[in-house]
Amino acid sequence: MKKKFLSNLILLLFLNLLVKPFWILGIDRSVQNLVGAEDYGFYFVLFNFSFLFNILLDFGITNYNNRNIAQNNQLLNKHFSGIVIIKILLAVIYTLITFSVGIAIGFSTRQLGLLGFLCFNQFLLSFILYLRSNVSGLLMFRTDSILSVLDRVLMIIFCGVLIWGHITESSFRIEWFVYAQTLAYLITALIALIIVMKKARFIRLNWNWPFIVMIIRRSFPFAMLVLLMTFYNRIDSVMIERLLPSESGSYEVGIYASAYRLLDAANMIAYLFSVLLLPLFSKMIKNHDEVVHVVKLAITLLFIISVTVAIGSYYYSFELMQLMYHEHVTESAAVFRLLMFGYIAISSTYVFGTLLTANGSLKVLNIVAAGGMILNFVVNLILVPRLYAVGSAYASLIAQYSTALIQIIIACKIFGFRPDYKFLLTLASFVAGVVLINHFSRQIFDNWMHNFILMFGASIVLATLLKLLNLKGFIAILKSKEDLEDQTMDEVAAGNN
């Protein structure tokens, strides 16, 4: 399993690091600079609002399906047809509820018009993620890796033409950005659908009410977990916009969105770990395999990445924001340095939360997520009117660390992980070392980018010296002959027969 995890993680990270930084820094940043903070804030509020009820599109089916297919590959052809029908029904319910709430809280005609496209985009994205859950559940990680970047590649092409292609004399509009997303998601969904239909030997849709009820009932705990986590991760910008006067609210949301962009990009790396870990953990738990070695490998790699990124972002916050934006640099940097410290907690959640999900510990995860949502909401209410976007950043930081710590404690108790004090001391030494590296790196060259690159290189060297990174061990894992994908495909074939 360690070979399966590490080899496919390398491919997944390579493809995503090849594509998504250009999307974040080249396309998304250019769009915000072209339309300005207020117009981008207008879009960002609606985008996050469309996320609030996103769970109604999926109802936990994707996570349930990923875990279920990983443990029972033969069920793909039996479940696929019925779940597609469920996804279509949920899309209708999601759209009706999202628009109803939007009208109730006073969205304008322009906001509702753009919200319609965003709702359709959310459906397409949810459908893509469901299709990918089948692909990764079959441990077809190479195919899933390509699908994970396909939509971004297409959006880069479409948006690049609109921004730099000079095909129109009009100024770039935020609506064009949304339309480009729609087309990219649609093409990706069609390609993923063809792949899964071939594996499932799909013939036609089957309406089976008992099956629909069964899937909804089993996926409900997953649905609640995603809903609660979505609220405490995405409600910040909506609360800023609602709690502050209209003009300052949109401006502060724009500042928050500027600071949040790099955190969102960094989160994708941690998320990619969870994409691989959920089916792997599910398979290992079913087979009663020891998971501690994979957990330690994943948390070590993510800890090195998240600590280096978080501390580096704190020391170089102003320079990074100045590199990306033309306006409100100081304000964005103040929010950015707080948000990025949350990346360490988020990364641990992607390991321990995924482990608990694979184990089926949904009840306790839901309780923790509900607590995180309430905590985030209350702190936002207290701090946003006083500190504006900075207050919301504090709320996010408090909620993320609280939930991460509780998940770690619960996972250690359930799986019987014993404290490895030598390992914990090594992690603490790494944190202290990265702080010192950042402090002194700023004084070496006149060009901050050279110092920043040097800081990253020195942090990797430090991790190697502390034996957190063991290159010989990684190579040995990659050379091992363990291969579960053939076994998985044999099980699918048996199920189809």
Confidence at residue 483, expressed as pLDDT on a 0 to 100 scale:
47
Q: What is the pLDDT of residues 309-331, one digit of tens each?
A: 999 999 998 888 888 777 778 88
- Count Cα neighbours of 55 within 13 Å in the Cβ-side half-sphere: 19
Confidence at residue 106, expressed as pLDDT on a 0 to 100 scale:
80
Q: Are 298 and 284 in contact (CB under 8 A)?
A: no
Confidence at residue 71, expressed as pLDDT on a 0 to 100 scale:
65
Would residue 486 count as lying in a domain?
no
Which residue type, as a one-letter code, is found at position 340?
A: M
Q: What does pLDDT average to over the chain?
A: 81
Closest CA to 10 of 477, 354, 454: 477
Please give the DSSP secondary-structure letter assigned to residue 354.
H
Would residue 50 count as lying in a domain?
yes
Give the total number of structural domains in the chain: 1
Would residue 442 count as lying in a domain?
no
Residue 294 is part of which domain span?
A: 2-418
Would residue 38 count as lying in a domain?
yes
> Which residues, other chains included, contact 172 with Cβ-Cβ below 8 Å and sequence gap of 6+?
31, 34, 35, 162, 163
Count other C-beta atoms under 10 Å from residue 320's C-beta: 22
Q: What is the DSSP string of 20-48?
A: HHIIIIIIIHHHHHHHHHHHHHHHHHHHH
Confidence at residue 492, expressed as pLDDT on a 0 to 100 scale:
39
Would residue 462 count as lying in a domain?
no
Would residue 402 count as lying in a domain?
yes
Joined together, the tokens standing for residue 90 give: 């949920």
The vertex-14 CA angle with 149 and 279, nearest 5°, equals 70
Alpha carbon distance 419, 394 (integer Å) = 30
Compute mean pLDDT per 10 residues along the chain, 497 residues long, and list them. 59 70 74 76 80 75 68 64 81 90 84 88 89 75 80 88 78 85 93 83 69 76 74 74 76 82 80 78 82 86 92 91 80 89 91 88 87 89 87 90 93 88 93 93 87 92 87 51 45 42
Q: What is the pLDDT of residues 240-296, one digit of tens each?
A: 877 887 667 778 888 888 888 788 778 878 887 787 788 778 878 888 888 888 888
Would residue 312 count as lying in a domain?
yes
Would residue 194 count as lying in a domain?
yes
Closest CA to 466 of 233, 307, 228, 332: 307
